[in-house]
A and B are shown apart, each in its own frame.
Chain A
Amino acid sequence: MGPAILVVDDEPAICDNLAAFLEDEGMRVHTVQSGEDALSRIAAGLPIQVCIVDLRLPGMSGTDAILQIHRIAPMVRFIIHTGSAPDSVLSKLQETALGSTPVFKKPVGDMSELAQMAAALGTES
């Protein structure tokens, strides 16, 4: 069985697409539409290895979500999946141990690359 994944994206269609693809690759995928939801699900004990996070989210930003999840679940690995990656957001992460978080820009031309990355990070954690 592959790793367990949490997708955080306010677009349900994007959540569905990622879930479908990753499930076909044999992963278990959960989806939430906000950073707050992601945080509370993980705090409640949702067992995941990899979190795929959009940066522009309503309410808590993707970057803040990553930093806070990292604080309560340091073993979780992250993939940024975003339509835009302003340098300021990435440099905020670079100040922490999460500086090397991989970034996939929407639209992802070949999703199997993203799936392979998720699988690799999942076995790492």
Chain B
Amino acid sequence: MDFSLERAQRVRFWAEDARVRSIIENVADGVVGIDAEGYVELFNPAAERLFGYAAGEVMGHNVKLLMPPQYSEHHDAYLERYLSTGEARIIGSGREVVGRRKNGSTFPMYLSVGDVTVPELRGFIGIVHDLTEQKAAEQKLAQARELLQSIIDSIPSALVAVDGQGRVTHWNRTAAREGAIDPEAAIGRPFAELFPLLQTHMDPLRQAVADCRPLKCERLPVPTGTDTRYVDVMVYPLVHDSGGSVVRIDDVTERVRIEEMMVQTEKMMSVGGLAAGMAHEINNPLGIVAQGCQNLQRRLSKDIPENRAVADELGLDLDVLGEYLARRGIIRFFAGMREATARASRIVSDMLAYSRRSASSFVPIHLNELIDTVLRLAGHDYDLRKSYDFRRIHISREMTGASDEVYCDEMAIEQVLLNLMRNAAQAMASSASLQSPEIQLRVADEGSRVRVEVADNGPGMSEDVSRRLFEPFFTTKPAGVGTGLGLSVAYFIVTEQHRGTIEVETAPGRGTRFIVRLPREGRPYGSGNSGGR
């Protein structure tokens, strides 16, 4: 160590004035003075406490002693550059750095450095402020904040805090995922911009936030691209903050769907219970009317010899009678009665489907072959021909995946698909502007299930209609055209009998797509193993 006289004089400079020395020795922050090359010339008691060195152990040593390697290795170059170019990073100001104690441990500190240029020397003076406690407090705060954020992030609801004007101040992860814009960018923006899909429900929300009043809106429909989701939206005024609120949004779509399904199943069960008993009771009188009608028509006809014999005996001219019946429209009444009884009988047999649970009828079926049959049936369907020429509809087919085979009740699934196609045809017939009616039939192998889609490019349905679609006796068709049972029977056959699913995707002007999924190993309820392989 080169303790030259010159340096000793300079060290005296730092301590020459008793008043200055008293200040330096009594300030709470560490004060360290160095010369232009970095050798320590001043080390006050506070610095001794901070670094664990006695002043004598440091004096004359390079100040790098007080730094961990990542700082010390650049220090010489830094000083040199500053002295030759004047380029400062810390000198003249200060910043957070890390200090190294005698025992090798490190601590955070705020270091401000001043350039000292007097006739006796060129050097630097550094003030060291210990940041250990502050850092610990900051860390604690950060941990607490992190914990709080983690708590609200782990809640599956979307949570968004807003100020009194409804501007976003905070959000959780679910909100970030569900929100329409990056929540980072939403800070300070009106809440509505974060959830534009809730636009139509925004007024009461805004009002509640403005009034600092709690609000609960349940089952709000939110139209998304393909279907409608449902959300519960709640507003809670913040407890400790004046004027702010938390908005909580829960996606309750699944719950709503299950509730709807339960209501529907209940309705169907009641219909199913009635159907079996009613069928016989109704079909008998229907038989009397329908078959009586046929007898009436025959016995009024001049083509049957017995009619002629009796008429002759009574002096009745059957040709004149025939003319009378025609002119008075009586023949037409008979036709009407026959058609009406046929329709009533179809309603009854539709209802009978509810009580049908015959396990024995489950057989392995290739759905594409079944669709062939259904298309043939649709081509000959009497009702369909009346309202629409099925052959005018362009049918496209598609098969994805390897297998289209499922265990099912062939007749029942036939009934389901025929019903879907009939609905599609009738829907397209009702749209006068539709130029090229089309039905897309898609079969897809989904592993344990097979999906069948029946999609049309007809007028589609409003949400009011599609929501009630599978309800028994709900119909949009003109009186006499639909029984209101077709789709509810289809629903029953697919979900109850086959344990599959049936859903609809539709919107006004966008066509309608029915999606049926049948389990490959389908077997009816209560049938044990008899339906399976």
Contacts and interface: CB of A to CB of B under 8 A. Distances in A.
Contacts of B288: 11, 13-14, 17, 107
A120 interface: no
Contacts of A108: 287, 290-291
Interface string A59-102: 00000000000000000000000111001000100000000000
A41 interface: no
Contact of B291 (A14, A83, A84, A87): A14
Interface residues of B, number: 28
A87 B357 CA distance: 10
Contacts of A111: 291, 294-295
B417 to A, nearest CB: 22
A110 B341 CA distance: 12
Contacts of A17: 287-288, 291-292, 295
Interface residues on A, range: 20 to 34
Determine which residue in A17, A106, A111 has the highest number of CB atoms from chain B within 10 A of its CB, and name it. A106
Contacts of A83: 279-284, 286-287
B342 A106 contact: no
Contacts, number: 76
Nearest to A91: B360
A19 B317 CA distance: 25
A46 interface: no
A56 interface: yes
Contacts of B299: 20, 24
Nearest to A107: B290
A11 B280 CA distance: 12
A14 B280 CA distance: 14
B350 to A, nearest CB: 13
A27 to B, nearest CB: 12
Contacts of B430: none
Contacts of A11: 284, 287-288
Nearest to B355: A86
A15 to B, nearest CB: 10
B72 interface: no
B294 A24 contact: no
Interface string B323-352: 000000000000000100110010001001
B133 interface: no
B320 interface: no
A20 B360 contact: no
Nearest to B357: A87
B295 A21 contact: yes
Contacts of B295: 17, 20-21, 24, 111
Given A87-B358, A106-B286, 8 more contacts: A13-B288, A17-B295, A21-B295, A24-B306, A83-B282, A83-B283, A106-B290, A107-B289
Interface of B: 276, 279-284, 286-292, 294-295, 298-299, 304, 306, 338, 341-342, 345, 349, 352, 358, 360
| Pairs of residues from A and B, 8 with the lowest C-beta to C-beta distance, nearest first | A83-B283, A106-B287, A107-B290, A83-B280, A107-B287, A84-B280, A17-B291, A107-B286
5 contacts: A11-B287, A83-B281, A106-B283, A108-B287, A110-B294
